[in-house]
Amino acid sequence: MTQTLTVRLEKPITSAKFLDESTGGIGGKSPGLGQANPVANAEQNPAQDSEAQKNTFSQACQAINGVVTKLNEFYDKVFTEQKEEIVKLSVEIARKILMQKVEDGDYEIQSIIKEALNNAPTRQDIVVHLNPEDLAECQKALQHEPDGTLTDVKFVSDSNIGRAECLLESPKGIVESLINEHLDRISKALKKTE
């Protein structure tokens, strides 16, 4: 798979020239004492000089492509690791915020029950298990809505159910609305997205 290397310059290129061995360019050496003049050699055999420059340039390109490949692999690895950490941190922050709201009583149990009812396979013969504190709040709210959507539902106090949570029983199955399960589903969904 070929990858493209992009170089961004702050200013436009105004001039360019090829470096050859006589100027100490890519792979070139300045003529030293006792060495033959490379300019004279280049004039004698320009095809060899051109081929040497092509080989040097090809080697440099291969080295750059290798570095780019390794950088891309490193980026992918770091991004994947950081993404998982970000998801964990986000879910943990959401958990802390929700727990604080539950502790403060800053939620409507009726809304939680109605959402769970939307996921129930049937609306007949439903029994809703609630935390005793939520049951008291729900019964107060139901007195103000005598003909609401929750009138045909039987409510049961269950100390195994946490605040702001509920469990619905119906003849066709059970629907749980538990905070930890919601957060786990959110975590899995976030980890799947790319």
Nearest-angstrom CA–CA distance, 145 and 62: 75
Return the beta strands (E) in 6-137 as ranges.
127-130
- Residue 96 Cα distances to 106, 129, 165, 183, angstroms: 14, 24, 16, 11
Nearest to 57 by CA among 15, 14, 17, 25: 25
Whether 151 contacts 124, CB under 8 Å: no
User: What pLDDT does residue 191 have?
Assistant: 80
Pairing of strands 154-157, 127-130: parallel
User: What pLDDT does residue 21 have?
Assistant: 57
Nearest to 178 by CA among 123, 134, 138, 136: 134
Q: Which two tokens stand for residue 55?
A: 């080989």
- Overall average pLDDT of the 123-132 stretch: 92
Where does the pLDDT of residue 152 fall: very low under 50, low under 70, confident under 90, or very high at 90 and above? confident
User: What pLDDT does residue 169 have?
Assistant: 93
Nearest-angstrom CA–CA distance, 110 and 141: 8
Strands of the 154-157 sheet, one edge to the other = 154-157, 127-130, 166-170, 173-177
Which neighbouring-strand residues pair with 175? 168
pTM above 0.95, yes or no: no
Reply yes or no on whether the pLDDT at 69 is more than 80.
Answer: yes
Q: Give the whole-number percent of the chain exceeding pLDDT 70.
A: 82
Of the two residues 56 and 4, the one the predictor is more confident about is 56
Of the two residues 161 and 151, the one the predictor is more confident about is 161
Per-residue model confidence as pLDDT tens digits over 25-59: 555 554 444 445 554 444 557 777 888 888 899 89
Q: Which two tokens stand for residue 45?
A: 């055999």
User: What pLDDT does residue 94 have?
Assistant: 93
Q: Which two tokens stand for residue 148?
A: 């609401």
Choose the weakest-confidence range: 2-16, 37-51, 142-156.
37-51
- Overall average pLDDT of the 138-165 stretch: 87
Choose the weakest-confidence range: 5-9, 42-46, 91-95, 102-106.
42-46
- Overall average pLDDT of the 172-187 stretch: 91
